[in-house]
Amino acid sequence: MSTLTSGDYIVFVIYFLIVSAYGYWVYQRKRKAETTSKDYFLAEGSLTWWAIGTSLIASNISTEQLVAMNSSGFKMGLAISAYEWMAAATLILVAVFFIPVYLKNKIFTMPQFLSQRYNETVAMIMAIFWLLLYIVVNLTSILYLGSITIHGISGINTEVCIWGLAIFAIIITLGGMKVIGYTDVIQVFFLVLGGLVTTYIVVTRLADHFGSPGFLSGLSLMKKEAGDHFHMIFKRDNANYADLPGLTVLIGGLWITNLSYWGCNQYITQRALGANLPTARSGLLFAAFLKLLMPVIVVLPGIAAFILYKENVFHTQMMQNGELNPDNAYPSLLNLLPHWFKGLSFAALTAAIVASLAGKANSIATIFTLDIYKKKINPEASESKQVLVGKIAVVAAMVLGIVISPFLGIDKKGGFQFIQEYTGFVSPGIFAMFILGFFWKKATSNAALFATIGGFIMSVILKLLPHYANLSSLKVIGFSTLVRQNDGKMLSEIPFLDRMGIVFVICILGMYLISLIENSKGTRVNGLEVDTKMFRTTNGFAVGALIVFGIIAALYTLFW
């Protein structure tokens, strides 16, 4: 039954009061020192390494992981963990190579980087791109999936849920990055504690169902009952190959997804841009270790749900409009939890949703205020005016997200795949533009425009091409296509991670050729200050990084 008891509500209220009281205390403590817009948006010099690391995870882990990645665990198993474990490796690379460039050149927003490295046209196009992406794809999916999940757990009306989540997030966001960063520490505590408790209870319940009690026994049973769900690399004949196409997760498009997300994304890098280099790097390393833990919280329960579904434990709860809906896996599992523990897991889910919403809203406000309002609308705006505009932008973005979220078909696509595929239309061009902007001084503004606009157009073309072109001719020129059934129709497609890899290579080659042509004509190029000494790390960081890479290698060896 989808309801919460009084005990569950008590646990949730305790969580709410702790977060609210701590956030208010941080706000009051920091308010006197808050004199600039950069302090409000970036918490300049105020966040510690552990606050940066936990804030990164709190902002990243939301319904797209707790709900949608559980759903993917239900459908395809442990392989979806590639996004989490490869993210841990990516965070190390970003800490070593990306963050030093940003900090050395005093970069505070991603459009500012593009303006400084290329020109205002590139920066403005991408500022609008990012605002649309954050609102139309990310904010809406978090709100929509979050409201559905909370409804599934508590029975509260979905409209009430979506407004409640938005209001809670707005309250935290209006306090600025300092409040977000430090309350995220509590959010992650509830997220990890609640997530681990949920996993432990669900796996134990699964063991009890098979008459072999104990958590370790449950893990062994999961491997036995769903052995096909414990492979990291899919073969071409796997039904989920289109989402995770074989070795692409190790040597192809998944790297582009992760490097673009963790290294070229205002929503993420904003946490570290207000700190010094040692603090920022330590925060990213801490986040990498937390990332290694995430599949235990967001994937294992999904595999357990798959087994219990096969055993008809909650067959009815998994159905929606007469069809199986894997996005119902997480709320169905939470309804198996005993009283009080369900409240803890409910608090963990809410913590993840609210923290992620707050982070997204803050990034939207930062880009709109510093890169659009300040530059194009009111260049003379005072610091206090910019902060006010940022707060208005937070509220406006959240209301827009609420209004449009029911109309995007998120539930039909599958939450996690919805987010990954549609951000993948712009990620290859963005990453090509950033990586050459960092490390190749000859890259020109027109080349960047080609990657920005041309990369998006090519992504759309490759999405549609297999539907209209002859499949045999596509294979001849090297495009790997799949043919799968969808609603009774046979549809051909290029796996979206492969599409990203193809578009990225084209963008790099196009930027290289355009830049060479323009360089030969004497086109002026804006370079960044880059010194190889910037990339040196401390011994402690190097040891931590080696441990992270070693664990990832061991996991892939074990579950290949």
Quick one: average pLDDT of 167-185?
Answer: 73
Q: Token pair 């096969």 is at which residue?
A: 310
CATH number attached to the domain at 6-38+47-423: 1.20.1730.10
Instruction: Please give the C-alpha separations between residue 469 and each of 219, 366, 494, 507, 529, in angstroms, as whole numbers.
Output: 46, 43, 12, 22, 46
Q: Between 287 and 239, where is the model more confident?
A: 287
- Report d(CA 254, CA 290) in Å as an integer: 19
Q: What is the pTM of this model?
A: 0.81
Quick one: average pLDDT of 382-407?
Answer: 83
- Report d(CA 282, CA 278) in Å as an integer: 6
User: pLDDT digits over 88-146, tens only?
Assistant: 999 999 999 988 888 888 887 788 888 888 888 888 888 888 888 888 877 887 888 77
Quick one: average pLDDT of 14-21?
Answer: 79
DSSP label at residue 424: T
Amino acid in position 366: T
Quick one: average pLDDT of 362-387?
Answer: 83
Which of 44-48, 155-159, 200-204, 495-499 is predicted least confidently? 44-48
pLDDT for the residue numbered 479: 47
pLDDT for the residue numbered 508: 94
Q: How many CB atoms lie under 10 A from the CB of residue 155?
A: 11
Q: Give the confidence band of 546 by pLDDT, cuts at 50, 70, 90.
A: very high
Start and end residues for every CATH 1.20.1730.10 domain found in the chain? 6-38+47-423
pLDDT for the residue numbered 487: 44
Which of 318, 314, 317, 315 lies closest to 326, judged by CA?
Answer: 318
Tokens in use for 247?
């070795």
Quick one: average pLDDT of 42-49?
Answer: 66
466-470 contact pairs (CB < 8 A, 24+): 466/492, 466/493, 466/494, 467/491, 467/492, 467/493
What is the Cβ-side half-sphere exposure of residue 180, based on CA atoms within 13 angstroms? Answer: 37
- Report d(CA 321, CA 96) in Å as an integer: 49
